[in-house]
Amino acid sequence: MQAIARPFFGPEHEAFRDQVRRFCENEIAPHHAEWEQAHGVPLEVWRKAGENGLLCAWLPESLGGPGADFLFDIVVSEELCRIGATGPGFNLHSLVVAPYIAHYGTPAIQQQILPRMVSGELVGSIAMTEPGAGSDLANIRTRALRDGNGWLISGQKTFITNGQNAGVIVVAAKTEDEAGKPGISMFVVTADMPGFSRGRNLHKIGQHAQDTAELFFENVRVGPEHLLGEVNKGFRYMMQELPQERLCISVNCQARAEAVFGWTQEYVKERKAFQQRIADFQNTRFKLASLWADLQAGRALCDSLIQRHLLGQLDTASASAGKLWHSELLDRVTDECVQLHGGYGYMQEYAVARAYCDARIERIYAGTSEIMKEIIARAICDEPRR
């Protein structure tokens, strides 16, 4: 079927999409299976992505970026999803980590870090989750204690995307103000700082090419310029940045679901059983029709959320609703498409099988589906009546 025009993408975005598509097909698709075996993407790929303008496209020239817009980074995300490449963590690097530094970092830190993130010299990660604190960020135990005019950071983080490759990490840590009231603050840590170390590269049931690590901080000393924003306002900053992060997950899940659906369309037209194509069975046709309808609804919601974000109108509840809908849509689509592939859908050599395993984490990270429902429920049930 003909693709629906998406009015917020202009000719310059589509020209960039062609460039990104060539990069993905030439530099990523042929090697992704190898990276899945290695459980990581080589740093050289990051540098090539930087050379081709695929990283932090939204950053202004004053911060070392190309001065494009948010939609260019969305194009990169969608093209990676189109080929099922979950290894390169460009999305998190560009649209989650870099914004913290650009929005709250000191000028010195911005100039030291951001141009090197644009070039791919520094890979970014964000360290929030801990062994005893996942979605419940208020219970993190990593501490940042004052040390002269700087800070000493100690603690452990886990499930950190880009963790093995990371050269710069945005860290959430408990702090105390002068009155002794605990709060959360955000810091920039670079991998060359004494006291920082990485643990094992965690092996997951899916997204095998994505390096996911444990990180350790043992009295890592950072100067005052490494504090993002103000002391004890980290939780507020996280709440301000999370809508964009959750929108990115909606974008990824929608694009991956569309890709899996496309692969399945082709498969059922070619595969035969009982002297007819799988596509000729009524069950197959009705399953695909139902999935296609869901994908149309998902695309409309996703693009509406993108449009609202471009207008500065994307609120936490709406972004959470998108993350909830699209992550569960991807789960549903991949499950049905595996079934339509039959036994071959269970073979790892088939992209649909890998997509099925890759999809499961989307309902967990950046806030579980249960947390998304709680956020939405608070917005619709707990607001004062007017």
| Per-residue model confidence as pLDDT tens digits over 156-181 | 999 999 999 999 999 999 997 554 55
Burial 30-44 (b: 16+ CB within 10 A, else e): ebbeebbeebbbeee
Sorted by sequence, the CB contacts under 8 Å of residue 183 that are 6+ apart come out as: 174, 175, 176, 177, 231, 232, 233, 234, 235
Cα torsion 52, 58, 59, 60: sign: positive
Reading the block at residue 41, the tokens are 């993407």
Sorted by sequence, the CB contacts under 8 Å of residue 369 that are 6+ apart come out as: 324, 327, 328, 363
Pairing type for strands 212-222 and 168-176 reads unpaired
Give catalytic residue positions.
245
pLDDT digits (tens, 9 = 90+) for 98-116: 999 999 999 999 999 999 9
- Identify the three-state secondary structure at position 181: coil
Could you give the angle at the alpha carbon of 229 between the alpha carbons of 165 and 322, nearest 5°? 65
Whole-number percent of the chain with pLDDT over 70: 96
d(CA 27, CA 49): 9
What are the φ/ψ torsions at residue 10 (nearest 5 degrees)?
-95, 180
Reading the block at residue 174, the tokens are 């408990």
> Which carries the bigger pLDDT value, residue 301 or residue 382?
301
pLDDT of residue 3 exceeding 90: no
Q: Could you give the domains of the chain?
A: 11-122 (1.10.540.10), 125-230 (2.40.110.10), 236-381 (1.20.140.10)
pLDDT digits (tens, 9 = 90+) for 236-282: 999 999 999 999 999 999 999 999 999 999 999 999 999 999 999 99
Q: What is the pLDDT of residue 386?
A: 46
d(CA 141, CA 139): 6
pLDDT digits (tens, 9 = 90+) for 188-247: 999 999 999 999 999 999 999 999 999 999 999 999 999 999 999 999 999 999 999 999
Q: What is the pLDDT of residue 384?
A: 61
- Closest of 270, 266, 333, 273 to residue 297, by C-alpha: 333
Could you give the angle at the alpha carbon of 259 between the alpha carbons of 253 and 263, nearest 5°? 145
What are the φ/ψ torsions at residue 153 (nearest 5 degrees)?
-105, 130
